[in-house]
Amino acid sequence: MAPSRCHDVIVIGGGVVGITLARELSRYHLDVVVLESDAEVGFGVSKANSGIIHSGIHADPATLKGALEWPGNEGWLRLRDDLGFGFAQVGELLVALSAEELGTIEHLHARGERKGIPGLQRWDAARVRAHQPNLSRDVIAALWAPTAGVVNPYEAVLLIADNAAANGVEIATEQPVTAIEPAHRGEPDGPLVVHTPTRTLATRYLVNAAGLRADEVARMAGVGTFTITGRKGEEYLLDKRLAGLVTSVIFPCPTPTSKGTLVTPTFDGTIMVGPTAEATDDKDDTATTPEGAQAVFAAAKRLVPAISERDVIAEFAGVRAVADSDDFVLGATGRRGFVNAAGIQSPGLTAAPAIADHIIEVLRDEGLELRERSDWRPRAEHPVRFSVLSTREQAELAASEPGFAQLVCRCELVTEAEIVDAIERGARTLDGVKFRTRAGMGRCQGGFCTWRCLELLARCRGIPMTEVTKRGGTSWLVRDRDDVDAAPSGGS
Amino acid sequence: MPITGQLRHLEADYDVAIVGAGPAGMAAALGARARGAERILLVDRDAEPGGILLQCIHSGFGLHAFDEEITGPEYAQRYLEQVLEHDIDVLTDAYVMDVGPGGRMKLMSPTVGVTGLDARSVVLAMGARERTRGAIRIPGDRPSGVMTAGLAQRMVNLDGYLPGRRAAILGSGDIGLIMARRLRLEGVEVVGVFELLPHPSGLMRNVVQCLDDLDIPLHLSTTVVGIHGRDRLERVTVAPVDDGREPILERSWDVDVDTLLLSIGLIPDAELARELGALFDPVTGGPVVSGTMETTIPGVFAAGNVVHVNDLADWVSREARVAGEWAAALATGARRPDEDVRLVPGDNVAYVVPHTISRDGTHTVSFRVKRPIHGPTMLRIGEVHRRKVRAVVPAEMVTLQLAPRMLEGWSGAVLRIDAVPAEAVVR
């Protein structure tokens, strides 16, 4: 029983890859739907990563990872120009702490130049020290790559998603895909039907950007040619007081499985250290661990001795989706119309715009007609960020709309009007509000503003407080009084 | 006597502007009025004055300030009535964004927008914030259901919601103890309070009235070492700690709960003072203050939990009154007293407030001990004063009065404060 309407493209997965692809597709006369299993887009590893747009030097150019890293970096600049999210090209320093590591630097330097990455320089210890005085005295040399940048990954994903939606893409959340089948029996090359617990949709093309579940989705389509395993990365955010400790991304020399533990000046001015790289059998395992913290801080202190566990204000973990080939899995499959954008491990965030371009070419080859729209709007209506405005701008805004004079989160200076706007843009959960507005991300970690955000979510969405969640599913936040046993149930 | 109309017009300048209208801010306003300040502004970020008192619906307030035991909202109400009687400008739903040197203040509120004003003196009375999970770095998942005890207190007492069905409490600070009782009375199962230290962090009266009387177990030298649950909290792992406060993981056990309240300490919410460049005390986490409660930034005073975390609101108000009085005195042309005596923590004393005093005034000296002494204890202020008390514990702040006559004939510059077993003191 195929639905009567047939979409042109359905993208499974509303992470950075799926969302960026959807926005690119919105340039054309196409009917595009994104199906996201979580309560909001970008709630997987897209919001739980280092937020680095890599310089382009890291991945082997013989792999898809390496081939798309540098074009992805350039793609982010274009996205930034269109959408105006926080993105600063702070550059990176890949440092050598021993004579053996000098060889690694030389190798990456030469390979980076062959890849065409501009601005690479070998710096001696004195130059490194002048640029980053807080680095360890053990640094003997470094490779400077000015093209590296830091981005707010969640802010970027949300703005890309908002822009895609403004251009007509339907973004459907809480839609985990449960089955994929041909729309018509006996027409294996015809349209596909996608089932979720609440919807059934038909489509001519299906892009599998399902992240950690991409292998399961491929199996549903009968093309389970790869497996995905999780590789967890723990990250630790330090107090704002340490802003400026480093002003570029600091890399150690890489190991075979990882770029190592980095010290990153985030776009918002905090210092972040991490990630770890631990294989995990449980793809949902985003727990931080004492061992992870120990490893991160031991490694970070080798680079920047002043870093201390005591300055942690928040910690999180993301799980990278690693294919068994250890490379991106991109392209057409044995099932006509079913295209993979899978196995997106590091440098996946960096490569995302290039992956989108690559997949669009695949779709074109597969017969998708791409007619450009004349009414496509590349620019996003930007949410107001009250805290960064001048006093005069703040006063003008507050005079025109009192919600801009009503403070909700004082650590990050977020106003009620910004929260309401975030909800109108699609924030459905406390985490959604937090990642869109930064409310609750500061020093007090939501101690004061959580309740106000909850009230605003309930009011604007017209739901009871008991139905507001932290991030969807069963992550409820409060219970009604009569929802517990009336009689105290004795001691434990 | 609720506030009937929201202040819609701000003066361009004030004698004294006070940031925060809790037990500190309101007392400071009254002190400023008593000392002759004419234009006084009291700013609070919440919809009503009172601060955290409004959610503290338990009794135990006012024993010192009013000689009777009342609840937090009653305590707030009594101060608020006086504030309104004394015709003090109260601006609520307002946030002070910045205080510049010289008392230039930038604030925002829906009624006055984003605006500036000048204050001859400023009193910082923003209180404290709660330490969060990040501060003690509990590893594990990040489900809903892990929150500070103060947030839970707000949702239960002010809004009538419950944080969950089955709760554990980490930390035996007063808010945690009070919330253990509150949740139990509301029908939430409270499996226990877990405290890292070998002694409770809160007042003994709260341990007795909130835990013992309700048979809620208190696990000392025990902490939470793991948080589990993808969406909602499902269980926590707890473990005893050794003498170095390191968890003994082999002896850990799991507790099924959907709620974990954190009562792991308060931090002075003193960012405005930090941004001004005031000198800070690393122990209190608040600004260094003089005997007049002035910070190292001239004209900027601070009092209450923004300076050091007090155990009782009554002490906060007493200290803030001094700040308000001196803020007014300076604003109206009085001279700063010469403060050439430093107070420093000595044996078994963690910190002392104020940090400096003059020789001619009467001063209340507040401090906390590092370790409990369960027996007669001698409190000493240098060579000039000593007082014997029955016992001391870190949970209870100690105060001593220092009068000018005690300093007569003493010409030193530093007074060390000690709290030692009485028998150790050689007379």
The DSSP code sequence of A15-40 is SHHHHHHHHHHTTBS--EEEE-SSSS
CATH code, A163: 3.50.50.60
Residue type, B175: I
Packing angle, helices A450-461 and A416-424, rounded to 10: 40
For residues A162 and A55, membership in a common domain is answered with yes
Q: Check pLDDT > 80 for residue A314.
A: yes
Residue A128 domain-assigned (yes or no): yes
pLDDT at residue B234, rounded to an integer: 98
For residues B230 and B272, membership in a common domain is answered with no
**Among A320, A339, A365, where does a domain finish?**
A320
For residues A466 and A345, membership in a common domain is answered with no
Are residues A405 and B114, on separate chains, in Cβ contact within 8 Å?
yes
Considering only the beta carbons, identify the residue of A466, A470, A491 that sits closest to B216.
A491
**Phi–psi pair at B219, nearest 5 degrees:** -100, 100
For residues B195 and B252, membership in a common domain is answered with yes
- C-alpha B231/C-alpha A39 separation (Å) is 12
For residues A266 and A347, membership in a common domain is answered with no
Chain A residues within 8 A of B231 when measuring between CB atoms: 469-475
pLDDT at residue A313, rounded to an integer: 83
Q: Check pLDDT > 80 for residue B70.
A: yes
Residue A233 domain-assigned (yes or no): yes
Q: With H, G, I as helix, E, B as strand and everything else as coil, classify residue A301.
A: helix
**Among B220, B238, B264, where does a domain finish?**
B264
Query: In chain A, how many domains are there?
Result: 3
Identify whether the C-beta of residue B222 lies closer than 8 Å to the C-beta of residue B195.
yes
**Which residue in chain A has the smallest CA separation from B151?**
A447
Look at residues B237, B206, B205 and name the one whose alpha carbon lies nearest to residue B222. Answer: B237
Q: Please write the tens of the pLDDT for every residue from A204-222.
A: 999 999 999 999 999 999 9
For residues B136 and B253, membership in a common domain is answered with yes
Identify whether the C-beta of residue A286 lies closer than 8 Å to the C-beta of residue A230.
no
Give the closest-approach CA distance of A288 to chain B in angstroms.
Answer: 5
For residues B86 and B147, membership in a common domain is answered with no
More confident residue, B50 or A310: B50
Give the closest-approach CA distance of B413 to chain A in angstroms.
Answer: 34
Considering only the beta carbons, identify the residue of B113, B116, B129 that sits closest to A444.
B129
Residue A160 domain-assigned (yes or no): yes
| Dihedral over alpha carbons A268, A270, A276, A281 (to 10 degrees) | -50
**Among B244, B264, B284, where does a domain finish?**
B264
- C-alpha B424/C-alpha A297 separation (Å) is 44
Residue A487 domain-assigned (yes or no): no
**B165 vs A: CB within 8 A:** yes
The Cα-based distances of B68 to B22, B73, B74 in angstroms read 19, 14, 11
pLDDT at residue B356, rounded to an integer: 97
For residues A30 and A100, membership in a common domain is answered with no
**Which range has the worst mean pLDDT, A140-144, A184-188, A426-430, B322-326?**
A184-188
For residues B259 and B284, membership in a common domain is answered with no
Q: What is the mean pLDDT of residues B209-227?
A: 97
CATH code, A433: 1.10.10.1100
Identify whether the C-beta of residue A410 lies closer than 8 Å to the C-beta of residue A449.
yes
For residues B47 and B144, membership in a common domain is answered with no
For residues A282 and A391, membership in a common domain is answered with no
For residue A2, name the pLDDT band (cuts at 50, 70, 90).
low
For residues A391 and A471, membership in a common domain is answered with yes
Residue A484 domain-assigned (yes or no): no
For residue B6, name the pLDDT band (cuts at 50, 70, 90).
low
CATH code, B310: 3.50.50.60
Query: In chain B, how many domains are there?
Result: 3
For residue A487, name the pLDDT band (cuts at 50, 70, 90).
very low
Q: Check pLDDT > 90 for residue A17.
A: yes
Identify whether the C-beta of residue A215 lies closer than 8 Å to the C-beta of residue A342.
yes
Are residues B93 and A313, on separate chains, in Cβ contact within 8 Å?
no
| Contacts with B, A 367-406, CB within 8 Å | 391, 394-395, 397-399, 402-403, 405-406
pLDDT at residue A407, rounded to an integer: 94
Q: Check pLDDT > 70 for residue B354.
A: yes
DSSP string, A409-445: ETTTTEEHHHHHHHHHTT--SHHHHHHHH-TT-STTT
Q: Check pLDDT > 80 for residue B21.
A: yes
For residue B426, name the pLDDT band (cuts at 50, 70, 90).
low
Look at residues A452, A429, A485, A468 and name the one whose alpha carbon lies nearest to residue B151. Answer: A452
- C-alpha B108/C-alpha B110 separation (Å) is 7
Domain range for residue B371? 343-424
Chain B residues within 8 A of A237 when measuring between CB atoms: 134
Q: Check pLDDT > 70 for residue A132.
A: yes
Catalytic residue among A7, A54, A58, A358: A54
- C-alpha A307/C-alpha A294 separation (Å) is 12
For residue B33, give both structure tokens: 């009025």
Residue B89 domain-assigned (yes or no): yes
Residue B155 domain-assigned (yes or no): yes
pLDDT at residue A447, rounded to an integer: 84
For residues B206 and B252, membership in a common domain is answered with yes
| Contacts with B, A 423-452, CB within 8 Å | 430, 443-448, 450-451
Q: Check pLDDT > 90 for residue B394.
A: yes
- For chain A, the C-alpha Rg in angstroms (whole number) is 23
Identify whether the C-beta of residue A289 lies closer than 8 Å to the C-beta of residue A234.
yes
Q: What is the mean pLDDT of residues A376-401?
A: 93
- C-alpha B301/C-alpha B184 separation (Å) is 40
pLDDT at residue B425, rounded to an integer: 67
Are residues A491 and B215, on separate chains, in Cβ contact within 8 Å?
yes
Identify whether the C-beta of residue B172 lies closer than 8 Å to the C-beta of residue B149.
no
Q: With H, G, I as helix, E, B as strand and everything else as coil, classify residue B11.
A: coil
pLDDT at residue A358, rounded to an integer: 98
Contacts of A374 (CB under 8 A, 6+ apart): none
Q: Check pLDDT > 60 for residue A85.
A: yes
- How many Cβ atoms are within 10 Å of A400's Cβ, its own excluded? 11
Mean pLDDT taken over chain A: 93
For residues B22 and B34, membership in a common domain is answered with yes
For residue B153, name the pLDDT band (cuts at 50, 70, 90).
very high
- How many Cβ atoms are within 10 Å of B405's Cβ, its own excluded? 9
**Which range has the worst mean pLDDT, A219-223, A394-398, A408-412?**
A408-412
For residues A223 and A284, membership in a common domain is answered with no
For residues B140 and B254, membership in a common domain is answered with yes
**Among A355, A381, A407, where does a domain finish?**
A381
pLDDT at residue B80, rounded to an integer: 96
Mean pLDDT taken over chain B: 94
**Among A299, A320, A341, where does a domain finish?**
A320
A54 is a catalytic site residue: yes
- How many Cβ atoms are within 10 Å of A454's Cβ, its own excluded? 21
- C-alpha B400/C-alpha B385 separation (Å) is 9
Q: Please write the tens of the pLDDT for every residue from B108-117.
A: 999 999 999 9
Domain range for residue A100? 92-146+229-320
For residue B3, name the pLDDT band (cuts at 50, 70, 90).
low
Residue A463 domain-assigned (yes or no): yes
Residue A1 domain-assigned (yes or no): yes
For residue B427, name the pLDDT band (cuts at 50, 70, 90).
low
Q: Check pLDDT > 80 for residue A257.
A: no
**Among B320, B336, B352, where does a domain finish?**
B336
- C-alpha A287/C-alpha A5 separation (Å) is 42
For residues A403 and A460, membership in a common domain is answered with yes
pLDDT at residue A6, rounded to an integer: 95
Strands B70-71 and B59-61: antiparallel
pLDDT at residue A486, rounded to an integer: 44
Residue B5 domain-assigned (yes or no): no
**A469 vs B: CB within 8 A:** yes
- C-alpha B354/C-alpha B191 separation (Å) is 40
Residue A394 domain-assigned (yes or no): yes
More confident residue, A393 or B10: A393
Residue B384 domain-assigned (yes or no): yes
Residue A474 C-beta-side C-alpha neighbours within 13 Å = 8
Q: Which residue has the tokens 């106003």?
A: A415
Residue B281 domain-assigned (yes or no): yes
pLDDT at residue B127, rounded to an integer: 97
Q: What is the mean pLDDT of residues A28-47?
A: 95
For residues B27 and B91, membership in a common domain is answered with yes
Residue B8 domain-assigned (yes or no): no
What's chain B's length in residues? 427
Are residues B132 and A444, on separate chains, in Cβ contact within 8 Å?
yes
pLDDT at residue A93, rounded to an integer: 97
- For chain B, the C-alpha Rg in angstroms (whole number) is 22
Query: Using the 8-state DSSP alphabet, how is residue A388 labeled?
Result: G
Instruction: Determine whether A163 is exposed, middle or buried from the number of CB atoms within 10 Å of its CB (0-12, 13-18, 19+).
Output: buried
For residue A480, name the pLDDT band (cuts at 50, 70, 90).
very high
pLDDT at residue A481, rounded to an integer: 87
For residues A136 and A37, membership in a common domain is answered with no
For residue A455, give both structure tokens: 């009230």
**Which range has the worst mean pLDDT, A183-192, A395-404, B156-165, B308-317?**
A183-192
| Dihedral over alpha carbons A131, A133, A139, A142 (to 10 degrees) | -10
For residue B124, name the pLDDT band (cuts at 50, 70, 90).
very high
Q: Check pLDDT > 50 for residue A488.
A: no
For residues A335 and A222, membership in a common domain is answered with yes
Query: Using the 8-state DSSP alphabet, how is residue B377 labeled?
Result: E
Query: For a pLDDT cut of 70, what percent of chain A falls above it?
Result: 98
Q: Check pLDDT > 80 for residue A483.
A: no
Give the closest-approach CA distance of B400 to chain A in angstroms.
Answer: 33
Residue B17 domain-assigned (yes or no): yes
Q: What is the mean pLDDT of residues B9-13?
A: 87
Q: Please write the tens of the pLDDT for every residue from A166-210.
A: 999 999 999 999 999 998 888 878 899 999 999 999 999 999 999
Q: With H, G, I as helix, E, B as strand and everything else as coil, classify residue B274.
A: helix
For residues A193 and A67, membership in a common domain is answered with yes
Q: What is the mean pLDDT of residues A69-95?
A: 95
The Cα-based distances of B136 to A116, A272, A297, A309, B223 in angstroms read 46, 17, 15, 10, 11
For residues B28 and B122, membership in a common domain is answered with yes
Tally C-beta pairs within 8 A across A and B.
152
For residues A337 and A398, membership in a common domain is answered with no
Give the closest-approach CA distance of B354 to chain A in angstroms.
Answer: 26
Q: With H, G, I as helix, E, B as strand and everything else as coil, classify residue B100.
A: coil
